[in-house]
Amino acid sequence: MGVCVCVCVCVCVCVCVCVLMCVCVNGCVCVCVCACVRACVRVFTRHQVLRISAKDELQLSALRDLEALDHLQLDIWIGVRDVSTPVDIRVPAFSLSTVKSHLDYYEIQYSIMIRDLQVALDEEAEEMDAATRDVEPRNTDAFDYSRYHTIEEIYNFQDMLVSENPNLVSKIVIGRSYEGRPINVLKFSTGGTSRPAIWLDTGIHSREWVTQASGTWFAKNIVDTYGKDQVLTAILDKMDIFLEIVTNPDGFAYTHSKNRMWRKTRKPNPGSSCVGVDPNRNWDAGFGGAGASSSPCSETYRGPSANSESEVKAIVDFVKSHGNMKAFVSIHAYSQMLLFPYGFTKSPARDHGELNELAKKAITNLASLYGTRYRYGSIINTIYQASGGTIDWTYDQGIKYSYTFELRDTGRYGFILPANQILPTAKETWLALMTIMDHSSRNSY
């Protein structure tokens, strides 16, 4: 065996450390192993990659002159060859104006292939991470609560949560959506029969994505903190919690596949080309009155009759047959408000005083986490007149603690709230929910 000399060349995408390993095998064949340790430094911020097309020798010569200027620190990706081959050059931010002036002076055509290389790299890295994350999580600890999910992912999450916590969580299918999707409700219970219960729902308006995302976190948070959080444990030892995360499944699927701004159900309206009914105008409370539209093309279309939507009827039937709901919270976004009945009339609810005081307490607790400011009051005073609304119906059913939330934000992002706000929103909202649930638990009626 002789002495072997190995030469390896390693190429990595970022400026990073390359570890080379050369192994000499019999007969001096080199085997190279390259491992790039991606300790990437942000060196490409505002660098642009230009694709340059020279049309004649004069322009080609001008380009070669440019390449020769070392102080510009140009990085030639595809070099100057001939007039038919474009030249690709990475230009550092500090050289951009010089290069572009040079190109403009010679009237050399170019396009900006990559407007900010670091952004492109970051996005690619994010996609690569996401690709690994997109592999289905094997348990609810591996589920990423700080991202938005599809209906399939949320439904899988629900099943995993149940199978991981069979003594605390069960899933009830309370009905089917218009397009036949199951309407799932998670029941959190420590036992008993027909205990007084709290209802939470998210996603009744499908475009309000932070609500379904928060609902998912609420579910996990309940199982994680039962037995550890005194207040929650006390509540669950007396009451059951029902949580419907995807209250408008067809609409939610539609916001993923076709129209991010879809609000209503997806039921066609006979005689109209417009689809869908506003599920928060379809309840039997002031139905037909001002505060909802009679036009199928409207975002606040009440529907042909109260409870015409299976998504609404499923909850109505469930609540009525349960018969022992003590609190009902329907969660929407955006505007940062905590609202209570009524929406269809200016007449104050019989319990206006108590509901108002409790709302004030709840939003004070909400604000304690990140300082997020909420307004509160009856629907009709605080936001607008709305008829056929969920909590007007639940309140008139005798469910005193009927509330609607409008979560973050106040309009900057609106419905398309960035995912990095999901966890802060869910956590602060939970403090308000706990206030309401705790109060219901201590004030039986």
Partner 1 sequence: MSPALMRVLRVVVLLSAVRGAPLATVTLPPVILEPVPLEPVPVPSEPVRVDSGADQNISIPINTEQQQQQQQQVSLDVDVMLTGELNPNHYPARRAAQVVLHHLNTRYGSPYWWGALRQVHKATAEALGDSGRKYSLEVTLQDQISGTKETCTAEVVFPGGPAGGPPQVTTSYEGKSEINTQAQEEALYNQYNTSQNLLSGHNLPDSYGHVAPGMEPFWHLGGVASSFVMLKESSENTLYNMAQVVSVTQLATENNQLRFNYDVLLHEMVSQEIIHWKLLASWSPQEGVKASQMELLPKCHHCEPPQEH
Interface residues for partner 1 in 342-371 (CB under 8 A)?
A: 344-354, 356-357
Q: Which residues make Cβ contacts (< 8 Å) with residue 81, sequence separation at least 6?
A: 87
d(CA 416, CA 207): 8
Handedness of CA 144, 150, 153, 155 (dihedral sign): positive
CB of 45 to partner 1, least distance (A): 9
Residue whose CB is less far from partner 1, 17 or 274: 274
CB of 239 to partner 1, least distance (A): 18
Out of 24, 238, 382, 424, the only residue in the binding site for partner 1 (CB under 8 A) is: 382
Residue found by looking up tokens 């911020």 in the block: 45
The catalytically annotated residue of 208, 244, 309, 406 is 406
Tokens (6 digits) for 271: 């005689």
Decide if residue 146 touches partner 1 (CB under 8 A).
no
d(CA 67, CA 77): 11
Residue whose CB is less far from partner 1, 27 or 105: 105
Q: Which stretch binds partner 1 (CB under 8 A): 111-119, 170-178, 186-194, 238-246?
A: 111-119
Report the C-alpha dihedral over residues 118, 119, 123, 128, rounded to 10 degrees.
Answer: 0
Site for partner 1, residues 188 to 217, rule: CB under 8 A: none
Site for partner 1, residues 27 to 56, rule: CB under 8 A: 46
Out of 139, 163, 381, 443, the only residue in the binding site for partner 1 (CB under 8 A) is: 381
Decide if residue 183 touches partner 1 (CB under 8 A).
no
Site for partner 1, residues 227 to 286, rule: CB under 8 A: 255-256, 258-261, 263, 273-275, 278, 284-286
The residues that bridge with 21 in the sheet, in sequence order, are: 33
Site for partner 1, residues 287 to 306, rule: CB under 8 A: 288-291, 293, 297-300
Q: Note if 354 is an active site residue.
A: no
CB of 138 to partner 1, least distance (A): 24
29 class by beta-carbon count within 10 Å (0-12 exposed, 13-18 middle, 19+ buried): exposed
Q: What is the size of the binding site for partner 1 (CB under 8 A)?
A: 82
Decide if residue 338 touches partner 1 (CB under 8 A).
no
Residue 436 CB neighbour total at 10 angstroms: 25
92: left (phi over 0), alpha (psi -120 to 50) or beta: beta
> CA of 307: how far to CAs of 76, 279, 442, in Å?
66, 9, 32
Site for partner 1, residues 307 to 336, rule: CB under 8 A: 317, 320-321, 323, 335
CA-based radius of gyration for the chain = 30
Q: Could you give the residue numbers annotated as active site?
A: 406
